[in-house]
Amino acid sequence: MKKMLMALSCALSLSAMAQTTAWPERSVTIVVPFPAGGSTDMVARAIALHMQTKLGQPFVVDNKPGATGTIGAGFVKRAAPDGYTLLVSSLGAFVVTPHLQKNVPYDATKDFDYISVPVQAPNVLVASPKQKERTVAEVIATLKANPGKVSFASSGNGSSDHLSAEVFWQQSGTEGLHIPYKGGAPAINDLLGGQVDFSFQNVNAVLPHIKAGKLHAIAVTGDKRSPVLPDVPTLAEAGVKGAEVYSWQGLAAPKGLPPAVKEKLSAAAIAAINDPEVKKRMVEQGLEIVASTPAEFTAFQAREWARWKTLIDTRKITAD
């Protein structure tokens, strides 16, 4: 009897192993918790196309926008941890929004297996065409002369562009007027029209406007200069230390992914973002390749979680 049970257990284990190592055997859904057309959607689709070719099954992007990314993230959290439902989101759903909203339908520290951060990008401080400031020192002087009156547009409360402004004000001892919009496009449109004064925007989102001379680039929030804006200094170079901020996208799955599936998924995701054509397209838009491992992403998520919780508590940032 004991030998029979051992044989049965062994057979079940081998069966389970065969199922996981055979992944994927059908189409995989990648949930993007934002509308189509944005940076996160673009990154997800680029990865999906390459993984589909490499792994031989369809990888379908499903946009589930709403509630600052938490609706889509909550959907993935409730899915089976079998590798057939994945999440690609910006940092908001992973490390920011849970600190701002009540009753978020998931625990970002417990409900996901973190697979990889494909890319990151610094934000860039840009001035509207009406502004005369061209350096960080001039922006700070204007802020100090008009405390709480100089407007900074963002794509919404808790977005990386909003948090960049909060860090900048904190580290420079200034205070601006935050103007949140429902997305990056309307914020950029009003910036171009001069309805708002400044904004910290994702480099890839405003690069065409900078190159066309419609917006003035003053500084980037990275720890080094952006290859697509080599003449624009970092905030640290301009005298504002400790204000490094990156916008990033992450690939995750429901918690409990079989190890064999996680390993295969991680390898495919890293290969996808390092594909020469994909890499070239990303870099040309100002994105920086990260392609982290599950262990690296898990540690990074924990650091980012703690950092933004501290800032949100200190600055008393709310979702309203």
Domain co-membership, 142 together with 286: no
Per-residue pLDDT, 18: 47
Q: Identify whether 238 is part of a domain.
A: no
Enumerate residues 6+ apart whose C-beta is below 8 A from 317. 100, 157, 158, 162, 163, 166, 311
Partners of residue 177 on adjacent β-strands: 151
Per-residue pLDDT, 67: 87
Per-residue pLDDT, 68: 86
Q: Identify whether 240 is part of a domain.
A: no
Domain co-membership, 74 together with 55: yes
State the residue range of the domain holding 268. 26-120+247-315
For 84, the token pair is 């057939």
Helix axes 184-192, 203-211, angle to 10 degrees: 30
Domain co-membership, 89 together with 128: no
Domain co-membership, 90 together with 130: no
Q: What is the pTM of this model?
A: 0.89
Domain co-membership, 153 together with 171: yes
Q: Identify whether 158 is part of a domain.
A: yes
Per-residue pLDDT, 108: 97
Q: Encode pLDDT of 18-68 as tens digits.
A: 445 699 999 999 999 988 888 899 999 999 999 999 999 999 999 999 888
Q: Identify whether 3 is part of a domain.
A: no
Partners of residue 59 on adjacent β-strands: 28
CATH assignment at residue 155:
3.40.190.10
Per-residue pLDDT, 182: 83
Domain count, the chain: 2
Domain co-membership, 267 together with 214: no
The whole-angstrom separation of Cα 139 and Cα 198 is 9
Q: Identify whether 209 is part of a domain.
A: yes
Domain co-membership, 174 together with 195: yes
Q: Identify whether 225 is part of a domain.
A: no
Domain co-membership, 183 together with 273: no
Residues of the chain falling short of pLDDT 70: 1-21
Domain co-membership, 159 together with 303: no
Domain co-membership, 34 together with 113: yes
Among 114, 122, 128, 121, smallest CA distance to 76 is for: 114
Q: Identify whether 74 is part of a domain.
A: yes
- For 90, the enclosing helix (H) or strand (E) is strand 85-90
Domain co-membership, 104 together with 128: no
Partners of residue 116 on adjacent β-strands: 251
Q: Encode pLDDT of 77-92 as tens digits.
A: 999 999 999 999 999 9
Q: Identify whether 279 is part of a domain.
A: yes
H-state helical runs in the chain = 2-21, 39-55, 70-78, 91, 97-100, 136-145, 160-172, 184-192, 203-211, 259-273, 276-284, 294-315
Domain co-membership, 102 together with 129: no
Total residue count of the chain as it appears in this document = 320
CATH assignment at residue 288:
3.40.190.150
